[in-house]
Amino acid sequence: MLIRQASAADNLRLLAFQAQRAMQGGLPMRFDRGPDYFALHRCHSADHRTWIAESAVGELKGIASLVVRDGYLQGGIQPVAYLGDLRLVPDRRLSKSWMAEVKVRLEALACETGAQHAYCCVIRGNRLAAHSLLGGRRNNPLMLSHWRGYSNVAVYGQRGWRGTPRTVNNVRIVQAQPGHADALRAFLDSESVDQPFGCVFSEAQFSRRLETWPDFGIPSFLLALDARNNVLGCVAPWDAGRIKRVVVEKLPLSYKSLRLAFNACAPALGRPAIAAPGEALQDIYLTHLQVRQRNPHIFAALLDAAWARLRGQYALMQLCLYDNDPLWTAMNRYRSVSIPMDLYTAPCIGHAPALSPMDAASTPGFEIYLV
């Protein structure tokens, strides 16, 4: 077995490999990353690398990616790594050598970049992935530590008839304009600084996002402003369809019935239909969701504004909510489907934990739309 770093010449093989291997769980799914497998990584950071495992005859057997960026961690700024796209053909011997190789690559990454800690996410119902990463005779080869549970929430409708958008006294929701850019960036960074692994929203990093992400810019943001124009919360709906699409491979019977019922009513409600299994979902992510003190009332106002803006264009509105997150109370107006997930941390080198007990209880600096 040959393990090497992938290049642009491997693009089509990587896309085909991902297309053939759905992530298992209650809703088996995969990401269609065409036409450029590496485009999503570039949205995350300029520093990314992907490894592939090949057989002696050049058959692709496994992939894994590491993306490195600056993050807030342990009271300061340091390089942190995201471990993703971990896919492998079923093979016990290969799995053992592959996980050992990933550990070696994490150690090399620490020497090359200074990154001491990595994080990753796993579908809670994906028993095969959990066993490979955490269990079995290898006994947690990457020394993963559970960080926080969360749900990938897909909103598909409102409960009852359309309600009046919720409001907060002395707070208004506006679409961001160029003049809001400096205050918006400062707000994002001030919220991120208290979130472990949170992105460092420097002027350079914020500008890079605005320039690198397709179909994205300052006008993408919805802002919650107080009477003095201070930013109290924000969210940026982003259609990542040009570089990443979600494909559900199979629907359980209950979800099949839900889809059929929804699609029967969708035309009368002015809503797009939910895609069939094997087709790309018509969805949009609620990115850069930050609310001061996790205030559910401000979040409710932002959520309602986003829904009013997007309901006629997208069948699903996707967002991340953590276990025991105060923001869950704002969801009582909406119908949604949730996929339980888990975040883990891993040392790139040594055994030092990434999070103190206080950090572990804080809101994670995690962005599901970059997964």
* Residue-wise pLDDT tens digits, 201-251: 999 999 999 999 999 999 999 999 999 999 999 999 999 999 999 999 999
| pTM score of the predicted model | 0.95
The one-letter amino acid at 93: R
How far is residue 366's CA from residue 371's CA, in Å, rounded to a whole number? 9
| pLDDT top residue among 1 and 12 | 12
Q: DSSP per residue over 315-328, as a string?
A: SEEEEEEETT-GGG
Q: Which residue has the tokens 């995969």?
A: 30
CA 352 to chain centre: 25
Structure tokens at 47: 């520093």
> In whole numbers, what is the pLDDT of the chain averaged over residues?
94
Q: Which fold has domain 154-343?
A: Aminopeptidase (3.40.630)
Q: Which run of H or of E encompasses 76?
A: strand 76-88
- Tens-digit pLDDT profile for residues 31-89: 999 999 999 999 999 999 999 999 989 899 999 999 999 999 999 999 999 999 998 88
Structure tokens at 254: 């209950």
How far is residue 246's CA from residue 200's CA, in Å, rounded to a whole number? 27
Q: 2-148 and 154-343: same fold? A: yes
- Tens-digit pLDDT profile for residues 137-188: 557 889 999 999 999 999 999 997 767 899 999 999 999 999 999 999 999 9
Reduced to 3 states, what is the DSSP secondary structure of residue 130? helix
- Tens-digit pLDDT profile for residues 246-267: 999 999 999 999 999 999 999 9
Structure tokens at 162: 């359309």
Superfamily for domain range 2-148: Gcn5-related N-acetyltransferase (GNAT) (3.40.630.30)
Q: What percent of the chain has pLDDT over 70?
A: 99
Give the residue among 370, 258, 278, 281 at the shortest CA–CA distance from 320: 370
- Tens-digit pLDDT profile for residues 4-31: 999 999 999 999 999 988 888 788 899 9
What is the band of 135 on the pLDDT scale with cuts at 50, 70, 90? low
Domain ranges across the chain: 2-148, 154-343
Residue 48: phi and psi, rounded to 5, are: -145, 150
